[in-house]
Structure 1
Amino acid sequence: PPSHSNADIFESYTGLPSGGIFRADIQDLMASIVKLLNDNGGALTVNIYPFLSHAVYTNALDGNLDTLVWALEKNGFPSLPIIVGEVGWPTDGDPKANPTLARKFNQGLINKIKQGKGTPKRQTLPDIYIFSLIDEDAKGIEPGNFERHWGLFNLDGTVKYPVDLGGGKNLTGAKGVQYLPRQWCVMDPNASVSDPNLDPSVKYACTHVDCTSLTYGSSCSGLDARGTASYAFNKYFQTMNQQSGRCEQFHNLSVITKTDPGSQGGSCWFEIMVDPKMNDQA
């Protein structure tokens, strides 16, 4: 069976793949692991995140892979099979995370896979698994707010951006999805942004739901104070499945509307939650 590791198990002391080594603090451990894998016909599975990489290769994936290959070679295992268990690009939560860059990276990755071309150091392309299928709105964000936005699909199964899979095939969104009523919880137009309850109310909402799209450089970071409050209130309202009273609990600062607050253009998406009852029956 394969062993699974993140790309931070190896590094380069020169900044080039040829300087690839296992980190000094885990060198002995990694040497024993790769020996065990080699002796038992296993493979080393590694997660690679070019989004976080400072590699100097034109193709950061190739740079990461070849750094690992050099590290394996220096430990006496130049031919140990490698599997890329996770590689992808996030679409939100960071100035560098957006659908345009994610599409560019993942389409380039798929094109490379279709060509079957390996790296400069290892000509055979390893098995590669794109990360990830769908967003994870409750995932930990210690590495960054982008951690919840790696999916090729939104939480409702809609496609974030087109990807050509080859052979006339493209990503296809989920079919027959049922949504809750088209209504949103927004800041009451008659409420004041100077209301002392506004900031605590927004913080309360974002403590219980995912507001990473509001953070610096993200898709909704350009909203003004009223828009930010509306986003937070609606995110809470939708996550709570539009339950009665959920929109009314923000100190008379919020109101339900039938007008999509995200319809004015821009990249900020005010979602409508999937109907849990209808989809449980599907």
Structure 2
Amino acid sequence: MARESPPAPTATGAVRFLLLFLIATATSAAAHIGVNYGTLGDNLPPPAQVAQFLRTRTTIDRVKLFGSDPAIIRAFAGTGIAVTISVANDQIIPLTNPSYAAQWVAEHVSPFVPATNINRISVGNEILASNDKVLIANLVPAMRSLHAALSSVRLGQIQVSSPHSLGILSVSEPPSAGRFRRGYDRAVFAPMLEFLRSTRSPFTVNPYPYFGYNPTTLNYALFRRNAGIRDAFTGHVYRNMFDGQLDAVYSAMKRLGYGDVEIVVGETGWPTQAEPGQAGVSVRAAQTYNRNLIHHVTSGVGTPLMPGRRFETFLFALFNENLKPGPTAERNFGLFRPDFTPVYDAGIMVGQAGDRTPALPAPATGKKWCVPVQNADENSLQANINYVCSSGVDCTPIQPGGACFQPVSVRSHATYAMNAYFQRSGRHDYNCDFAHTGLITNADPSYGSCVYAA
């Protein structure tokens, strides 16, 4: 049903418009914090519960998968959470064949969009670490082939990238001297960065200060107070290892002429357990690293060579995974236990910090709520907020200090506003249309002290 034109705003409505505009403007520049969702465990909860937990109890708004499991992708349908799926390393060479790429998209992407917000595909994982020259030579062709297959079915807006460890660098210190490994710089990274620039996709790197620290640089790795390390070429003093690692990657990119390509942090984290006697590994150290990291990447401070930048960052990892091979630390990077209780307070929970109450999805009650469709753009959602808040609906809960002000995002505020309008207007399906940007759900979107009427 068509929506009526919104009435002219009153003086109070104008104030609300200004406030919500400022909130939306601040949000548009905000960095996104995501999490890597691995499944190498025999005690992990069902994907549907995971999706509901992340949506209702955390500020996480995106996840990165290490595969393309249909059950997991389907579990995020209707949540609004952005999902990165991955192409396995052994599929890279077949993916260079356009027919195979089209088939891959038809099986792993098309059936799930737009219900699930698949916004990015990672082609392989840290390919250069394999030292497989044939695989490496086919990486960029596979990325191009996959993008072409997506574009052919009008899904070209889905980004295509590939995550890299810092092993791609031959020089990383000082940061301003960063450069890619000789031979791969022109043969692999120049064409890859050209592709990323042309498709507006990010260069994905996995910086881990955990793998670069020693007992004397622990404070530097954990963002704690330290004397800093000076780059003799630029004069910049680095106060944390994370900035040094990112700036080394940036320097390598800029050296090839691609300093304008966005950088996304695909993985970073700190374990809570390691081998006996390893200094610097504890619950407290992991909490310190991740809390300081989140504050830093979202602050807008940027790095010495990239001032004012915020970085979309994926924490590693969602759960401790008891079946992961390798050292003890590999199984202990998790933010949560399988029952959803936090291993420590990383600052991503909605409501009381450190709440250890299992956050399982509420059962269906027959009640109905109105929420945005997963692919609604922020401009449309902001228009919905403006319309609702000028129509007499009480929007104080999504204003500063209100019970639903956090998390500060257009989608979260629109969810509250659209549902409030839907409930007040009589709960008819057409009251949740909002020019096809709303849908009816039986899952209660309430969280913490933010209670959605029903």
TM-score by length of 2: 0.36
State the structure with bigger RCO (CA 8 A, min sep 6), 1 or 2. Answer: 2
1:46 is aligned with what amino acid? V
> C-alpha distance in 2, partners of 1:50/1:85?
14
Task: Specify the alignment match of 2:4 in structure 1.
Answer: none
Determine if the alignment matches structure 1 residue 82 to structure 2 residue 259: no
Distance 1:45 1:14 in 2: 17
Deviation per residue, 1:168-206 (Å, 9 max, x gap): 6635445278xxxxxxxxxxxxxxxxxxxxxxxxxxxxx
**C-alpha root-mean-square deviation of aligned residues, in Å?**
2.5
Q: Which consecutive segments of 4 or more residues in structure 1 shift more than 6 A?
A: none
Deviations 1:54-101 (A, max 9, x none): 585431111111011000000110110111111111111232321011
Q: 1:161-180 maps to which residues of 2 (within 5 A)?
A: 161-165=344-348, 170-173=353-356, 175=358
Shift in alpha-carbon separation, 1:4–1:14, aligned structure 2, 3 A: closer
Contact persistence 2:339–2:358 (CA under 8 A): no
Q: Which residue of 1 aligns with 2:165?
A: 7
- How far did residue 161 of structure 1 move? 1.6
Q: State yes or no: 1:100 paired with 2:284.
A: yes
Q: Which amino acid in 1 is paired with 2:203?
A: L
Whole-Å Cα distance in 2 between the matches of residues 122 and 165 of structure 1? 25
- Say whether residues 1:119 and 2:303 are aligned partners: yes
Give me the whole-angstrom Cα distance separating, in 2, the residues matched to 1:174 and 1:34. 45
2:273 and 2:282 in contact (8 A); partners too: yes
Q: Residues 10 and 20 of structure 1 are in contact (CA less than 8 Å); yes or no, is this contact kept in structure 2?
A: no
Structure with greater proportional helix content: 2
Identity over aligned pairs, percent: 30
What amino acid sits opposite 1:153 in the alignment? F
SS at match of 2:162: strand
Q: Is the Cα contact below 8 Å between 2:170 and 2:182 reproduced in 1?
A: no
Closer, same or farther: CA 169–61 of 1 in aligned 2, 3 Å: farther
Aligned runs of 1:127-138 on 2, under 5 Å? Answer: 127-138=312-323
Alignment-mate amino acid for residue 70 of structure 1: S
Output one character per residue of 1:208-263: Cα deviation in whole Å (capped at 9) or x when no partner.
Answer: xxxxxxxxxxxxxxxxxxxxxxxxxxxxxxxxxxxxxxxxxxxxxxxxxxxxxxxx
Alpha-carbon distance between aligned partners in 1 of 2:333 and 2:259, rounded to the nearest angstrom: 32
Alignment of 1:209-224 (within 5 A): none
1:146 equivalent in alignment to 2:304: no
Contact 2:172/2:248 (<8 A) preserved: no
CA distance in 2, matches of 1:120, 1:133: 30
Q: Distance in 2 between matches of 1:51 and 1:14?
A: 16
Number of aligned residue pairs: give it: 175
Q: Is residue 271–residue 330 contact of structure 2 (8 Å, CA) maintained in 1?
A: yes
**Aligned letter for 2:240?**
N
SS at match of 1:83: strand
1:71 equivalent among 238, 241, 252 = 252
In structure 2, the residue matched to 1:156 is 339
Change (3 A) 1:39 1:169: farther
Distance 1:25 1:148 in 2: 35
- 41-50 or 69-78, larger mean C-alpha shift: 41-50
Q: Is the 8 A contact 2:271 2:282 kept in 1?
A: yes
Long gaps (5+) in structure 1: 178-282
1:273 matched to which residue of 2?
none
In the alignment, structure 2 segments of 5+ residues that lack a partner are: 1-158, 214-220, 222-228, 230-237, 361-454
- Equivalent position amino acid for 2:316 in 1: F
Q: Give the conservation status (yes or no) of the 8 Å contact 1:19–1:70.
A: yes
Report the 3-state secondary structure (helix = DSSP H, G, I; strand = E; otherwise coil) of the residue aligned with 2:239.
Answer: coil
- Contact kept, 8 Å, 2:297 with 2:311, in 1: the verdict is no
Q: Is the CA contact (8 Å cut-off) linking 1:114 and 1:166 kept in structure 2?
A: no
Describe how 1:223-262 pairs up with structure 2 within 5 A. Answer: none
CA distance change for structure 1 residues 139 and 166 in 2, over 3 Å: closer, same or farther? closer
Q: 1:18 aligns with which of 176, 183, 196?
A: 176
TM-score relative to the length of structure 1: 0.56
Q: CA deviation at 1:12?
A: 5.5
Distance of 2:325 and 2:357 partners within structure 1: 26
Question: 1: CA distance between counterparts of 2:188 and 2:299?
Answer: 35
Preserved contact between residue 20 and residue 71 of structure 1 (Cα < 8 Å): yes
Letter in structure 1 aligned against 2:329: F
Deviations 1:11-36 (A, max 9, x none): 35362111111122522212211111
* SS of 1:161 mapped into structure 2: coil
